[in-house]
Structure formats: C-alpha cells, structure tokens
Chains A and B, each alone.
Chain A
Amino acid sequence: MHTETERQALEDALLVTRCQLGEAAAFDALIERWHQPLWRYARHATGNDDAAAETVQDVWLRVLRGIVRLRDSERFRAWLFGIARRVVMDRLRAAYADRTVDADLATLPEPQSVEPDYDLDMLHEELAQLPVIEREVLVLFYLEELSLQELSDVLAIPAGTVKSRLFRARQLLRRQLTNKGVIR
C-alpha cells in the first residue's frame, strides 16, 4: 500500500529517470508538474515578480545541467527546492550585505493556531514581510508541504534545527499578526 506522497515520489523518480535518458517530453512533464510550486516558492522568497522569474529560469537551467548527477531520483522534490534555495541565496548575497535576524525569542508568546478562515491573500502579504530565513521555512513546510526530513536536506541543516527554525518563524508570524490585531 502506497501513500499519495510515495506515489508522487515514484512519479517524480520515473520522470527524472526519463530525463536522465534524454527524453525531451519528460522534461516538459517535469516542468508542467513543478513550475507552479517553484514559482510560488521563488515569489515568496524574492518578494517580487522579476526576481522570481529570473530565479525560476535559473533553477530550471540548473536542473537540466545537474539532473545526470541526481542518483536518488525519488528525492527529486528536496533536490529541486535545494537548488531553488541556493539560487535565491546567491541572488540575495549578491544584492545585499549579510542580514541577520535579530528576534527576541525570549519575549515571544506561546504559539496558538492561526484562524483557519483568515484571508489567504493577507497571509501571503504577512509572510512576505517576514525575514527571508523564516519566510522560506514556512513556505516550504506549509505551502509546499515538504517533510521535516526534506526541509533538512533543502536547507542543509539538521532536522532539530529545522524544528527550532519553524518554531521561531511561527512565533514571528504570530507576533506580526497579533501586532496588527488580526489574532489575539
């Protein structure tokens, strides 16, 4: 019995293998399947359409150039978002001096669930105002539904650090929403 996630991983693995063989149609199918999630991630991570468009284009070129070296084809999703993250980070590094997040975690309130009927567009706007490190972990975990292990691969950090980063990101988002009176 396979879960939906396992079936999707198998479908990805099959497409990747066909790409490695050199089938142009498999690249088309892979792009059809992953363009939107990639665009969503890039849009959130970069904060504007032009940068996201360049990022997505760069990611697909790197996928084409690197796919022969992808041994574990069932891990395609983590590999793809890992590339996307490196492209975004390269762009950020080039554009700005290193910026660090200075959140005073000790003063943050305990986490509570976000209202389920909260307007999604507004939530996207609030996400866009978070620092990039926190924004990307929330986007990948909640919007792209990557598992903790996949996030650990993508972000190149241990699973424990992923959890603490997620915790901190949720706290920052909650504080932001609380300050605006959206939640109490």
Chain B
Amino acid sequence: MSTPTAKDMQRLIAGELSLRSRIAYTALLLLTLGAAGAIGSLWLTEPSLPLRTHLAFAVLVGINLSWVSYATWVLTRRRVLLAGHRIIAGRMAVTFSAVFVAGAAIVGIWGPGGSAAFAAAGFGLVMLAVAIALLIHARKNFARLLERRRVLEVQLQEASR
C-alpha cells in the first residue's frame, strides 16, 4: 500500500458521506418496519389460526424485524446520519407513517381489512408519533449546531484581530 495522501482520505470520506445510500437505508428501515407492523396486525387479529400459519406469520415478522435491525445498525454505526441527514430521514419517516396510517384507515373503513387494518392503523399512529418526535429533535439539533457555528465564527473573527 502506498503512502495515502489527504486527497485519498478525502475521496474515501466523500464516498462514505453518500446521501443516496442513507436515503436507501432509511427507506429500507421504514418499509420493513411498516411491513412488520402490517403482518403483525393481521397475525394478531386473525382468530383460530392453525399452528403452521402462526409459524409462517412469525417467520415473516422475524424477517422484517431482522431487516429493521440491520438498517438501524447501518444508520447508527456505519452510514451515520449527520444533522442534515437526520432532518431528511425524519421527513421521510413522517411522510411514510402518515401514508401508512391513511392507507390502513381507508382499507379498514371501505375495504375488506376490518380489525386487522385498524390495528395496522394504530401501529402506524405510533410510528407517526415517533417520527414526528424524531423530526422535531433533529430540527432542534440542527438549529443548535447552526447557532454554535455562528458563535464560533464570531469568536474566530475576534481571535484573528
């Protein structure tokens, strides 16, 4: 391996900072969490299922939760979300959860879903509440960092005089 230059390291970090991959993992997290909620709702509200069907539901929920864990691990340990990314991820989560709740409610009211759809809508409401809380926290954190940047810029100007 040749001696790495600052340019090599800048290229390495630029690749790691990819917004597209963060959006992809956030989408994976939301979709698999939504799928786990929908399948889980169906599973819990279906009366008198045979053992084989219980197992099938459990496997499906388990697979989706595994993907949720993987995406969470990537977003907290590998493709870490910086303050700006967190706002984008928060907006995605709020939008997805709102659409999920609306979809489940429509199926519950007008479709054949019945109690499973309402249970899914309830799960979606919890997701929506968490998403809103995360988005508010992300915006506050972003504003705090902006203020910190402003203060540091003033201090540096004074230090340079």
B49 in contact (CB, < 8 A): no
Check if A36 sits within 8 Å of B6, measured CB to CB.
Answer: yes
Known contacts A10-B159, A14-B153, A21-B145, A54 near B1 by CB under 8 Å: yes
Check if B13 sits within 8 Å of A31, measured CB to CB.
Answer: yes
Stretch at the interface among B33-41, B74-82, B93-101, B122-130: B74-82
Check if A60 sits within 8 Å of B13, measured CB to CB.
Answer: yes
Check if B3 sits within 8 Å of A53, measured CB to CB.
Answer: yes
Alpha-carbon gap, A17 to B141, bound state (A): 11
Check if A61 sits within 8 Å of B16, measured CB to CB.
Answer: yes
Interface code A1-24, partner B: CB below 8 Å = 1, 0 otherwise? 010001100110110011111111
Check if B1 sits within 8 Å of A50, measured CB to CB.
Answer: yes
Alpha-carbon gap, A17 to B85, bound state (A): 14
B156 touches which one: A11, A61, A66 (CB < 8 A)? A11
B51 in contact (CB, < 8 A): no
A interface, by DSSP: helix, strand, loop or mixed? helix
Alpha-carbon gap, A39 to B160, bound state (A): 28
Q: Show 22 residue pairs from A and B whose CB-CB distance is below 8 angstroms, ordered by the A residue.
A: A7-B160, A10-B155, A17-B152, A18-B149, A20-B145, A21-B145, A22-B17, A23-B84, A24-B14, A24-B17, A27-B10, A27-B17, A28-B10, A35-B9, A36-B6, A57-B12, A60-B13, A61-B16, A64-B13, A64-B80, A65-B78, A65-B80
Q: What 7 new A-B contacts, CB under 8 Å, besides A14-B153, A65-B80?
A: A2-B158, A2-B159, A7-B160, A17-B149, A22-B85, A61-B13, A68-B83
Residues of A at under 8 Å CB distance from B?
A: 2, 6-7, 10-11, 13-14, 17-24, 27-28, 31-32, 35-36, 39, 49-50, 53-54, 56-57, 60-61, 64-68, 73
